[in-house]
């Protein structure tokens, strides 16, 4: 067992299947940049503290930089029997520079090493996801500004409720994505603690300088408890929750695009380049991209639940179960970034069918609330106004008419003091533009929202 870095106390070789079953190399090798960066800073600290000589530190750092070049150039040989990214790099370092390489692991464990690597990875990944969210938001913003005069029905319970601007509906998703971006930015704050120096769980008796390591790796500060340092995976869970919430929002948008592009709705035309056809039905144009994003949402939810389940019963501190933290995180990160790109580019290419939208907005007696509001302004209590308008709607339904077809004579049967102003509020255009306040669907309010967002984005 001399070939294993930990093999001194073992008398039998590791079973080949066990080597493969327990190895994390197939997925954690993507952490190599962070592993090498952490090792270089750790080595600088060891040299600075006199734990190893300055010459040894320089030799190790040069060797690590050479290994990084090897990996980047595709010339590095990964060996499954060495279990993980850490041991592959360390063994290669010893091969390159000799015994000095054996001193790199002084005053650290793979437990605090991997905790560092994944925090460094998540710091970059959160920034990458936030950037991808920005791109998707830009597409939404551009479409909202471009189609500011398109009116559509707003829905509750998937029933026509009140008319809104298509731009206002799109900007609702902008706000969802803004909250998502905030969650990723916020998650970084919890990950911004430097765990190196915790050792296996109890710290180290070497005179290390954890603040120096934190400073060089751009962490806010070192972790406060060595046991928690190696057993904490809250930052992974928080990242996965942020991914899940984001995918939920993308799934809702995908669902609407699927519905809107159907013949039953006919609200939007999706770009051909983001759809596919049928192998048997020549007329079909299938919304595969939003369908797949909707489906991948379940995958990301599964990543979150998988890690929650792994962590729920673990005693302190590190356990091999925690090796299962990386694949869900990597999978969710890749899925989220791909989905954001797909949705952003898809939204940028959609074209609303404004006539169909307007026709639908005028249906379903969607301005009934406007009539009730008119009656309230005339002095009627809202509950009474609600009842009056309900009776009016019943008459219109029975006669197969919409709100704009209501006559003043019919309204006066229920409210004798009604005047011509009552009828003017029944158009969808009047309904939309009457809601001219912060957060409202009026053209002026939506344009102000768009401009405010653009101003903020211009400053960041």
Element (H, E) at 159: strand 159-165
| Rounded-to-integer distance, Cα 310 and Cα 367, Å | 52
Say whether 194 sits in a helix, a strand or coil.
strand
Give how far the C-alpha of residue 247 lies from the chain's centroid of Cα atoms, to the nearest Å. Answer: 6
Cβ-contact 220, 214 below 8 angstroms = yes
Q: Which DSSP string do the residues of 201-268 spell out, in sequence order? A: TT--SS---HHHHHHHTT-SEE-S-HHHHHH--HHHHHHHHHHHHHHHHHHHHHHHHHHHTSTTT--E
CB atoms < 10 A from the CB of 249, how many? 20
| Rounded-to-integer distance, Cα 123 and Cα 382, Å | 52
Q: Which DSSP string do the residues of 127-152 spell out, in sequence order? A: HHHHHHHHHHHHHHHHHHHHTTT-EE
Torsion of Cα atoms, 88 then 89 then 95 then 101, to 10°: -130
Q: What amino acid positions are annotated as catalytic residues?
A: 157, 278
Element (H, E) at 163: strand 159-165
β pairing state of 151-156 and 159-165: antiparallel
Cβ-contact 318, 230 below 8 angstroms = yes
Q: Which two tokens stand for residue 189?
A: 């704050």
Q: What is the CA radius of gyration of the chain?
A: 31
| Rounded-to-integer distance, Cα 187 and Cα 235, Å | 7
Query: Taking Cα atoms as reference points, which of 15, 16, 20, 93 lies closest to residue 61?
Result: 93
Query: Any bridge partners for residue 155, and if so which?
Result: 160
Q: Which two tokens stand for residue 340?
A: 């954001």
Report how far apart, in Å, the C-alpha atoms of 388 and of each of 315, 362, 426 are: 65, 20, 15
Dihedral-angle region of residue 225 (phi above 0 means left; psi in -120 to 50 means alpha; beta otherwise)? beta
């Amino acid at each position: 067992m001399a070939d294993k870095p930990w093999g001194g106390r073992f008398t039998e070789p590791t079973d080949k299947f066990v080597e493969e079953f327990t190895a994390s190399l197939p997925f954690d090798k993507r952490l190599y940049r962070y592993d090498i960066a952490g090792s270089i800073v750790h080595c600088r600290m060891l040299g600075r503290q006199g734990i190893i000589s300055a010459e040894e530190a320089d030799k190790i750092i040069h060797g690590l930089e050479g290994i990084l070049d090897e990996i980047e150039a595709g010339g590095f040989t990964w060996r499954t029997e060495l279990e993980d990214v850490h041991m592959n790099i360390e063994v290669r370092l010893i091969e390159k520079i000799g015994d000095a390489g054996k001193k790199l692991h002084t005053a650290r464990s793979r437990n605090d090493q991997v905790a560092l690597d994944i925090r460094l990875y998540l710091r970059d990944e959160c920034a990458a996801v936030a950037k991808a969210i920005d791109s998707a938001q830009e597409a939404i913003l551009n479409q909202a500004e471009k189609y500011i005069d398109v009116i559509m029905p707003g829905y509750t319970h998937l029933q026509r409720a009140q008319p809104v601007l298509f731009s206002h509906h799109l900007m609702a998703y902008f706000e969802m994505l803004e909250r998502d971006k905030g969650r990723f930015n916020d998650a970084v704050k919890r990950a911004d603690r430097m765990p190196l120096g915790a050792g296996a769980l109890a710290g180290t008796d070497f005179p290390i300088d954890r603040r120096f390591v934190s400073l060089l790796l751009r962490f806010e500060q070192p972790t406060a408890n060595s046991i928690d340092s190696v057993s904490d995976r809250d930052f992974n869970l928080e990242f996965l929750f942020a991914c899940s919430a984001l995918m939920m929002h993308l799934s809702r948008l995908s669902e609407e695009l699927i519905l809107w592009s159907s013949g039953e709705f006919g609200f939007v035309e999706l770009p051909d380049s983001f759809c596919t056809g049928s192998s048997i039905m020549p007329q079909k144009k299938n919304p595969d991209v939003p369908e797949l994003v909707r489906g991948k949402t379940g995958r990301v939810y599964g990543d979150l639940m998988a890690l929650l389940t792994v962590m729920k019963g673990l005693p302190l501190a590190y356990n091999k179960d925690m090796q299962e933290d990386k694949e869900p995180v990597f999978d969710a990160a890749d899925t989220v970034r791909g989905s954001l790109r797909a949705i952003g580019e898809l939204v940028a290419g959609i074209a609303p069918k404004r006539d169909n939208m307007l026709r639908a907005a005028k249906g379903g007696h969607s301005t009934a609330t406007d009539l009730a509001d008119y009656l309230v302004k005339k002095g009627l209590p809202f509950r009474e106004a609600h009842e009056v308008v309900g009776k009016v709607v019943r008459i219109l339904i029975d006669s197969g008419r919409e709100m704009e077809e209501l006559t003043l004579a019919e309204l006066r049967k229920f409210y004798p003091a009604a005047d011509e102003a009552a009828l003017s509020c029944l158009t969808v255009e009047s309904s939309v533009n009457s809601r001219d306040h912060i957060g409202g669907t009026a053209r002026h309010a939506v344009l102000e929202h768009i401009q405010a967002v653009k101003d903020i984005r211009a400053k960041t």
